[in-house]
Amino acid sequence: MSSPHNSEVTQERRKKEAIQITTGSRKKRSDAGIVLCNDRDEQALTWIGQQYAIRLDHLQWLLGSQPGRGAQHEAWISEGAARAVVTRWKSAGWVQAERIRAKEPFWVWLTHRGLRKMGLPYTSNDLEHTDLDALRHLHAINAIRLQLTHEQEGIRWISERQLLSRIVRRKGQTLLHRSDGEIHYSDGDIIAIEAEISSKGPFKLAENLMELLRGKEYLRLKDEYGWQQARMMSQSYESEYDQIWYFAPKKVRRLVYNVRAKLVSVGDLDSAEAERLVVRWYPLTQTDEEIEQEEQEDREARRDPALLDAPVSIEDDDRSLVIVARVGHLLFGSSLARE
DNA sequence: ACTTGCCACTCTTCGGTATC
DNA sequence: GATACCGAAGAGTGGCAAGT
C-alpha cells in the first residue's frame, strides 16, 4: 500500500524522467547503437561463409533452426524477421545483400569484415559476378544441406569451400574432383554429395564418378597411364567415401543411371562400387510416397536402365510444381514463407 | 545487493510502393 | 497483376542505468 507521500515521490520521479527523456539528458546505454553478435548470428554467418552465400528464403530456414523470441514456427522465421536480421548484419558491415535474378529474393554473402569476424580463412567473393548456373547450383546445394542436416541430427557437413581451402595446390598438378559437400556421421562414415542440376557430358560425368569412387590413386594412375589403363589398374582402390549421393532432376538422373550402367557393363566398375553410387531426386523428396518412388526408380535403374528411357508422363514432369504448391514455403520454392 | 523501469532488440503482421 | 521490397506498428524479452 503506498502512502500519499510515496505517490507524490513517484510522480515527481516520473516527471523528472519524462523531462530527461524529452531533453535527451538521460545517459544512453553503453551498448546503444552497437550491433552485438549473438550465438545465432555466429552460427548462421559461419554457415553462409562456408557455403559462399544464401538466398533469403533459405535464410528464413537457417535462422529458424534457432528461432528467437516470439517465433511462431519451429523450423523457420518470417520473411520480415529474416530481412531485419540481414539489415542488422549489413549495418555491422558483416554481409552484402543484392537481388540478382528477377522474381527471386536477394542473396546474402559475407564481406571481408564478416569473414574475418567469423574467423573464416576465405577470400571475399562478390556474388554479383557469379554466373546464373553457378547460382542455381549453389541454391540446390544449400537446399540439400538444409534438408539433410534438418532430417538427420548429429551429422557434420563439410562444404565444398571448406574442402577446397584444405587443398595445397602444386604447379602442374591435376586436382581431384571435389564433391559439393560431405556428410560425416559419428560412426566415421562419409558420404559425398553431388548436386548435378544440369547435364555435363557422359565422359566428364564418368570421370567424376571414378574419382569419387576410387580417390586420388585413380587420378595418379590416370595422369601416368591415361584413363583407360587407370580404370583397370585402380580396381583395388577405394576413396574415403562410403557412398556418393547424386542429387539430380529427372533428365540428369537418366544420364547418371546410364553412365553407371555402362561403367559396370564394360567392367570398369564392379557391382559393389556401383552400389556405393546412389542417385537421388532434385527437387528433394518430401513425402513418404516420393521417397518410395525415389528408391524404386534407383532399383529399377540398377536392374535395367533402358526401362527409364520411356517417355515422361505429364504428371511426373509436374511433380516439382505440385510440391511447391503443397509446401510453398519450403526450401526450393521461389515464393517466400509469408504467413 | 536488490528492484524498477527504460531502452535496444527481435519478432510478426500489414499495407504501400516498386519492379518485372 | 504478381511478386518482392520496405517500413511502421505493436508486442515481448532481456540488459542496463538509476534508485532504494
Q: Which nucleotides of C are covered by protein (CB under 7 A)?
A: 3-8, 11-20
What would the pLDDT profile of A210-268 be if each residue is shown by its tens digit? 999 999 999 999 999 999 999 999 999 999 999 999 999 988 999 999 999 999 999 99
Distance A182 CA to C18 C1' (A): 54
Distance in angstroms between the alpha carbons of the first and the last residue of chain A:
46
HSE of A294 in the Cβ direction (CA atoms, 13 Å)? Answer: 20
Indicate whether A137 pLDDT > 60: yes
Distance A86 CA to C1 C1' (A): 29
For Cα atoms A90, A334, A146, give the angle at the middle one, nearest 5 degrees.
70
Where does chain A show beta strands of DSSP type E?
A: 54-55, 95-98, 107-110, 156-159, 181-184, 190-195, 243-248, 277-281
Higher pLDDT, A26 or A79: A79
HSE of A58 in the Cβ direction (CA atoms, 13 Å)? Answer: 25
Residues A94/A117, Cβ–Cβ less than 8 Å: yes
Calculate mean pLDDT across residues A327-333.
Answer: 32
What would the pLDDT profile of A58-89 be if each residue is shown by its tens digit? 887 788 776 665 555 666 777 777 777 777 77
What fold, for A33-130?
Arc Repressor Mutant, subunit A (1.10.10)
HSE of A237 in the Cβ direction (CA atoms, 13 Å)? Answer: 19
Distance A24 CA to C12 C1' (A): 25
Indicate whether A277 pLDDT > 90: yes
Q: Is the dihedral of CA A303, A307, A312, A314 positive or negative?
A: negative
User: Could you list the protein residues whose CB lies below 7 A from any atom in strand B?
Assistant: A 10, 14, 17, 21, 26, 28-29, 31-36, 38, 40, 63, 67-73, 77-81, 84-85, 88, 102-103, 339
Distance A5 CA to C18 C1' (A): 21
- Nearest nucleotide to A12, CA against C1' atoms: C19
User: Whats the size of chain A, residue-wise?
Assistant: 339
Residue closest to A184 by CA, chosen among A127, A243, A230: A243
The reply to whether A5 has its C-beta less than 7 Å from any atom of strand C is: no
Q: Which nucleotides of B are covered by protein (CB under 7 A)?
A: 5-14, 19-20
Grid cell for residue A151: 532430417
Q: How confident is the model at residue A320 (pLDDT cuts 50, 70, 90)?
A: very low
Q: How confident is the model at residue A11 (pLDDT cuts 50, 70, 90)?
A: very low
Distance A97 CA to C4 C1' (A): 14
Distance A86 CA to B5 C1' (A): 30
**Averaged confidence pLDDT in chain A:** 76
Indicate whether A9 pLDDT > 80: no
Question: What's the pLDDT at A32?
Answer: 52
Grid cell for residue A315: 504428371
Lowest mean pLDDT among A18-22, A92-96, A169-173, A325-329: A325-329
> Pairing state of beta strands A190-195 and A243-248?
parallel
Bridge partners of A108? A54, A97
Cis peptide leading into A283, omega within 30 of 0?
Answer: yes
In the chain, the amino acid numbered A128 is E
Identify the helix (H) or strand (E) that includes residue A280: strand A277-281
What residue spans define the domains of chain A?
A: 33-130, 132-312
The reply to whether A9 has its C-beta less than 7 Å from any atom of strand C is: yes
Distance A73 CA to B7 C1' (A): 27
Calculate mean pLDDT across residues A187-207.
Answer: 92
Question: What's the pLDDT at A90?
Answer: 76
Calculate mean pLDDT across residues A92-101.
Answer: 74
> What Cα–Cα distance (Å) separates residue A92 from each residue in A95, A121, A327?
8, 19, 34
Residues A193/A149, Cβ–Cβ less than 8 Å: no
Lowest mean pLDDT among A25-39, A128-142, A240-254: A25-39
